[in-house]
Each structure stands twice: as C-alpha cells, then as structure tokens.
Structure 1
C-alpha cells in the first residue's frame, strides 16, 4: 500500500502544481501498476541519474508518495514500458514501493521517443545536451527536417537549431553543460568563437572564476577580435576577494543542494539565498534535504 501523502506546504502540492500530463492517446485514468511489470524505455532522453538525488527522492516518496503519476505504454498482457517518469520509478523501487500510479498511453516507437522528450522538456527535467542528442536522434532516425520536428514537438525551429549547435562544442564543454557546471547562456557565448582551442580556454576561465554570462560574452568578443588580429586571447581579470568568497559559497551551496543555488549580496552585506526548483520532483528533493538537516540538528 503506497504511503499516505503529507500536506507538505499547507495547501498541498497538488494545489500548487499542474497535474496535466503529455497529450497522447490512451486512458486519462490513473492506474496502480505493479513495479515488476514495468521496464524502462531504452530510448529515454535522460541518460544520467544521480544516485544521491534518487536516494533523496526515495526518502520524499516514502513521506509524500508519488505526486505525479508515471506515463506508461502497454507492451504485452502484463507488461508496460515507461514513456515518462523513470526517475520516479527508480526512486519508488528504492523507497520499497511495490506499485506506482500511472497513466496508460498508446504510442508507437517514434511517438514514444517524442512523448518522452516532450514530457521531459515541459517539466524541464532534461539537461541541454540530452535535449540536443534527442533532437538529433529524432532527425536522423525518422529523417525529419528541423522544420518538421518543430511542428511535431511544438518548439520553434530556431530553438531546435540552437540546441543542435551545442553538439559542435568540444566534448569537455558538452560534459560541463550536461553536469550544469555552465548553462546555455555560457554555451551560446562560447559558440560565437570558431576555434575549439579558444572555446576550451574560455570554458576553463568560466570554471576558474565563475564568470557570468555577460562577462563571457564580453570575453568571447575580445577572443574573436584578438584571433582576427593574430594576437593572444586576453585573460579574464581576477575578481576581488569578496566576490571570490561569495562565488565559493555559492558553489558550495549549489553542490550541497545539487542545483544552481542563487546567491546575491550587496555592498552592505544584505542579500538573499534562493533555492530554485523546476518541478515537483526537485521540490521533493529539497524537502527531503531540509528534513535531513532538521533531523540531524535535532
């Protein structure tokens, strides 16, 4: 029997979070499906699962239950394949659940990939490289143009083109983007530089100094101008000690909470720390972390 949900935020998560699922053929009823009958989608867009984050989600699921049902397709008399919700599925198993709530959808192989991609993008679960690779796979495997893919998934063609351009970056930069060490703004600035060696040089400056997107855009322009003049690319000026201290604190908090924590502080020392979350899974992770901190202090 699944655990009873806790009213985590007064009104409850259900009143704060849209429960709409991916539009698709199939029943809109929520079914209770035995986890032993479910298998992952081998073409799932998400390629990495943080085990520590899964452990935190499992703790939250034990406390709150699964808030957003999985989306599955029936592949046999007693067999289902995941369209969307593999993180919840994995965490539910860790939490000891024997069944999970799910919508049963009807989809062929190409629709399965598209639906998984759309659901993850709508929930902002995928990193930029996972999205880019899935776009490329859909284009290559089903011989789609960017325009046709745009029509099928409801994204602007320019957006698809921008994601595909990320795959032209050096592998080291792509890994940094996948692991959220840099964001899309940084990546777009790096793409304005043609030479991979210069892209890597500026990428390493971003990591060393925690440069803002605006600063990277300025440096990218300076790199291009220096390259055209046959000069050495300029080095980024080192930030003052106070800024470095704040950057270190920001990185420490982001690492501890496994998300890009936002930290601001003015010259008088007044500021705020913000813990962003993109969906209910990440909110559950935050609640689990805060609960862990509270219990350790108690």
Structure 2
C-alpha cells in the first residue's frame, strides 16, 4: 500500500514538472519536500513562512531538514498579525493565516515560474476542523498527500521508510493555537508561550503544549509523564521562570496532552456566536 502511494506521489510530481512547496518543517510538508526533490531536483523549491507564531527552533529544524534532503530552501515573512481578523482569534483564525500565506506565495511562485504550489495537508486533516484548508483550496494550492489518501500514520511510516530521521517528530502547530478562541493574540503573548515551551523542552520533555488563557499558563504533557514530572521537577523554580516570562499563574492539565483539544469547545463556541 505504501509503495503504491509513493509511486502515485512520484507520478504526481512528474506531471507537475515544477513545484513550490509550502514547507513548515513539520513531518508532513517535509515528506512532500523530500519526494518532490527526489523527482524534480532543482525544479522543486521549499519555502518557509516566518512570523511571530513560528517557534524559532522550528525554523532551525526546517533549515536543517532541507539541507539533509538537498532541496533549495527560501524563507519569507508573512504578516498575519497585521490582520485584525486573525488577531481577534475567531474559530476560523487559520483561514486568515493561510490566506496571508498563499496570497504571499502565489505571486512569488508566478514570478519565479512555478505553476504549482503544494502543501503538507494529509488525508486525516480533511476529517478535522481545518479552515485553513479552504483558504488554500480557494487559491489553487494542491495537497499531494491528501490526493493519494495518505494518513498521518502513513506519513510517518513513509518518512521512516525513506530514511528521514525526523519521522517521529511531534506535531507542532503554530503558537496561536495555544489560545482559546476569542482571546486576542499579540506578539508578546506568542513570545511568552514560546519561551515557556522551550523551557520545558530543555528539561527533556517532548510532545507538550503550554496553553495560555489570560494570565494563566496550563501545561499539557503526555499523561504517562505527569506523575514523573510532578515528582522530579523543581516546581517552585519552574513557576518562577514562567512568571518571569509574564504569566501570573501556572497550572498542570491533569488530563494531559491530547491532539485537537483546542477544538473540543467548537460546538458550543459556534452555537454562541
């Protein structure tokens, strides 16, 4: 099955002849970049958008991975934080983010002679609430992984099969996803969350989130790591660090990290709008 889907992806890029990849450095878009480069060589270009919602360490990962793949990699700036429709953080915030991204990429692609822009959307993403997908479709962006029906699990399997060392890299959505819908997003808040998450990762923790609501930080860890975290972490030092970052209160989510938790409130949010 995986070999069939790999062949389909390779054929898809052969038909394109040239492609610009919207490349975040996540496992999905990196697999797309790898296959595109294997097929197209220097006729494939990976482009990463940088804004305050991107963790600096994610940009560094993207650079390193692009070098290992061999694909040409360029960086651009996007300005979704200038759009009040984005910073107001409505339930369709991602629509405005992806609109800004592809309104920036499209003229660049045309100017540079790339007839196609592709992204890393996979088949599982189509079953989740992802308003950014609509923005990309409206602008003619193609999603090769979704087109061949490749799931997230298959993306990881394929990445491992192709020898990509980051095949099990945790998902890392933009920092704006750390805020409840309706709470205004600012650069200072994004930086505060980013610094807090980097602090926890330096303690050796992975697959985590620091959710921000007002002056409160809520730490989400894998459920199996919670007990060890409480017993082995100097909590007073941690709280002091978070307060230096700008938080007043620091809490621990006893349910633990669960993908998609932000969207569990969507039915009631949409009903109240």
- Work out which of the two has the higher radius of gyration on C-alpha atoms and give 1 or 2: 1
- TM-score between the two structures when normalised by the length of structure 2: 0.27
TM-score, normalization by structure 1: 0.25
